[in-house]
């Protein structure tokens, strides 16, 4: 498994471990949702691994990194950033997991955040959905 595939799978598993999460592919790219709201987009191709997060606290800092850009479709104005990695590039896995948590906290309802803080994880039924997974 390549470094990009490893990073993609690690991010996907971590996203789906949060309470009340589900995976869908509404626009051809996989997303993890909490309470029917997207908190992370993630995609993998032969050319790149990309992930998109809502970062209300660290988004401006993230934009200073060479692999990060504002998310398109106007989402960048709302604090969404996209990180892209080409084959052979280092993927800062720990940083992506920190951003994943920030994004989850920015989108999730309070009950899901409390469940996460209490150590609860997603039930197996909340994992990938039949819709586009």
Alpha-carbon distances, residue 75 vs 31, 33, 71, 81, 133 (angstroms): 15, 16, 5, 8, 23
DSSP E strands in the chain: the ranges are 21-24, 30-34, 37-44, 49-54, 68-70, 80-85
pLDDT at 88: 93
Residue 68 lies in a domain: yes
- Provide the CATH number for the domain around residue 113: 3.90.1150.30
Residue 132 lies in a domain: no
| Mean of pLDDT values over 34-42 | 96
pLDDT at 130: 40
Residue 131 lies in a domain: no
Residue 27 has pLDDT above 90, yes or no: no
Structurally, the chain folds into a number of domains equal to 1
Residue 90 belongs to domain spanning: 3-126
Residue 119 has pLDDT above 90, yes or no: no
Residue 133 lies in a domain: no
| Mean of pLDDT values over 80-104 | 96
Q: How many CB atoms lie within 10 A of CB 100?
A: 22
Q: What is the pTM of this model?
A: 0.87
Average pLDDT, the chain: 89
């Amino acid at each position: 498994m390549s470094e990009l595939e490893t990073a993609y799978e690690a991010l996907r598993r971590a996203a789906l471990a949060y309470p009340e999460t589900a995976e869908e592919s509404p626009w051809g790219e996989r997303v993890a949702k909490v309470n029917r709201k997207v908190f992370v987009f993630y995609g993998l191709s032969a050319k790149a691994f990309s992930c998109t997060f809502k970062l209300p606290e660290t988004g401006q800092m993230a934009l200073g990194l060479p692999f990060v850009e504002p998310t398109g479709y106007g989402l960048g104005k709302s604090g969404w950033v996209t990180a892209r990695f080409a084959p052979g590039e280092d993927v800062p896995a720990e940083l992506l997991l920190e951003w994943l948590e920030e994004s989850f906290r920015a989108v999730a309802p309070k009950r899901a955040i409390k469940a996460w803080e209490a150590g609860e994880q997603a039930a197996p039924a909340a994992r990938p959905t039949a819709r586009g997974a």
